[in-house]
Amino acid sequence: MQFYDILFTLDSDGRFQNVAWGNEESEELYHLLFDSWVSRRRKASSVFPLPDGADSGSFLWDKDTFFFRILPAPDNQTYLFLAREDLSPYLFARALDQVSEGVQIYDKNACVVYFNKVTRQISYIPSGVDPRGRHLLDLYNLDENISTTMTALRTRSPVINRVDHFKTSDDTPIATANTSYPILRGGELLGTVSFDQTEEIVRKNIKRLEETLRALQTYDSRAPQVTFSGYTFDNVIGHSPKLREIVAIARKVAPQDSSILLVGETGTGKEIFAQSIHQASSRRGKKFLAINCAAIPETLIESLLFGTQKGSFTGSENKAGYFEEASGGTLFLDELNSMSLGMQSKILRVIQENSFRRVGGSKDLKLDVRIISSCNQDPFRSIADNQFRRDLFYRLSTVMLELPPLREHLEDLEELVQYHLNATAYQYVHAITAVDPQVYAILRAYNWPGNVRELFHVLDYAQNVADSDTMRPEHLPSYLLKHRAAAPVPAAASAPPAIDFSTATLQSLLDDYEHQILLQALEHCGYNISRTAETLGILRQSLQYRIRKYGIVL
């Protein structure tokens, strides 16, 4: 690290007078800001958290650690030297800790510069002991004439796979296979790096390499050979009655040209259904285009949908929009309820008039697109909250399909797990082929706010960390294990509290109980009225009556 990256000259009041740069990187990062401080004569203490009275130290600014030194200068001035923390040594050290064999780095005098984690384990060096600066012969009882490291330093040549038998400073015998390379710069010897392996490490490496070799040799036979051309209903995994009922309805309406609204939480598979409906329709030979209404800025979404006419604004060009590109096919408006009401009104006008114009254009273009849209929350609640235009909702919801969240069809959990593990097994050396029953118990106890998408992410995590062909609880993300640990333990059965019948009637007790059940059911179903009514086995109108009766605020 240089003596300084940035040098400020301060006047007698501690205000910035000028700035000098120690390297181009710092100047590129900060010159505009720091030059403005100099021109405005700001006080250093007003922008940097310098410790009071200290002439050196460090502070945190702009998410970086800066080391500082304050020195007096002529004419009642002060120099403020700043140097950004250099993280390179830390990154290199942590990277070498991931190496499966021991790594030892010595300087030209055979004094320790760095030992990685495996070397410390091989040599029984306690975590609190720092070997840096100690001579190799002070750490190990061995003959320097046969030492791999000493030989490489003495001969300035590599020593490959020499077996050493030696003792640590506490007389613990060790046998390792060592390889050492001298490190030279311009002919000058700087030091050496040695790689050490014990018999145990070699056996582990052989096993790992054999598994990796098998995975590479069988990759072509395990990898899917087909080119993905869009989802179909065959990609809907699960056989629960609730899911199969939705699939059956979607198959029936797919050949029609009716607009469809898909309602479901994030990760329930709305785009899979949208593509499947397109593939099962008469429009399957044309384009399927999707736009995420929540991810596109309001200033761009109009030009993306309608296209632009050259000259309509600076930099504009003749470009077709999604309505035009998808002509004859299907347009999927994902999370439509996230679109502004103003944009919703423009889409409503297009549907009503069956035509549209490019932004800045004067020519009417015929609309020939089947629109499938989605909503990630109850559309009736979105309408009540003034987030979804009622008239647009009725235009786009000729058929409304409510996709169940994963927690409502957990009977499909095992099938989903096996499907994803089988589909992605070719990507991993340790392909998971079995799942511990405890894992399924943990997965079933979780609420899955991210639904199937979150489940697949959890399985991908497990496949990345698994060291065998069986998924065990320790292979799951920590938040799932914490959720299991935090789950309430059922209390022992006890007698119900005594009832004061002088103030309570049977009807009031039943009303209180019904009120609590309604609150729990609404929360369980995400305050979706239709889903809550179905869960409770009552009509939607009956549920709405009870909500009004008990003054429940949604």
Fold of the domain spanning 406-486: Helicase, Ruva Protein; domain 3 (1.10.8)
Separation of alpha carbons 506 and 529, rounded Å: 28
Residue 286 pLDDT:
93
Residue 455 pLDDT:
95
Residues of the chain with pLDDT under 70: 1-3, 87, 169-170, 219-229, 312-316, 483-508, 526, 553-554
The pairing of strands 288-292 and 260-263 is: unpaired
CATH code of the region 233-402: 3.40.50.300
Same CATH topology for 6-86 and 506-549: the answer is no
Return the closest-CA partner of residue 177 out of 153, 199, 144.
199
The torsion region of residue 75 among left (phi > 0), alpha (psi -120 to 50) and beta comes to: left
471, exposed or middle or buried, with CB in 10 Å at 0-12, 13-18, 19+?
buried
CATH top-level class of 6-86: alpha beta
Residue type, 336: L
Architecture, CATH, for domain 506-549? Orthogonal Bundle (1.10)
Residue 227 pLDDT:
47
CA distance from start to end of the chain: 60
Separation of alpha carbons 146 and 161, rounded Å: 13
Return the closest-CA partner of residue 393 out of 382, 406, 402.
382
Decide yes or no: CATH 3.30.450.20 for domain 89-203: yes
So where are the chain's domains? 6-86, 89-203, 233-402, 406-486, 506-549
Outline where DSSP puts E strands in 301-363.
Answer: 307-308, 319-320, 330-334, 355-356
Within 10 angstroms of residue 464's Cβ, the number of other Cβ atoms is 11
pTM to 2 decimal places: 0.58
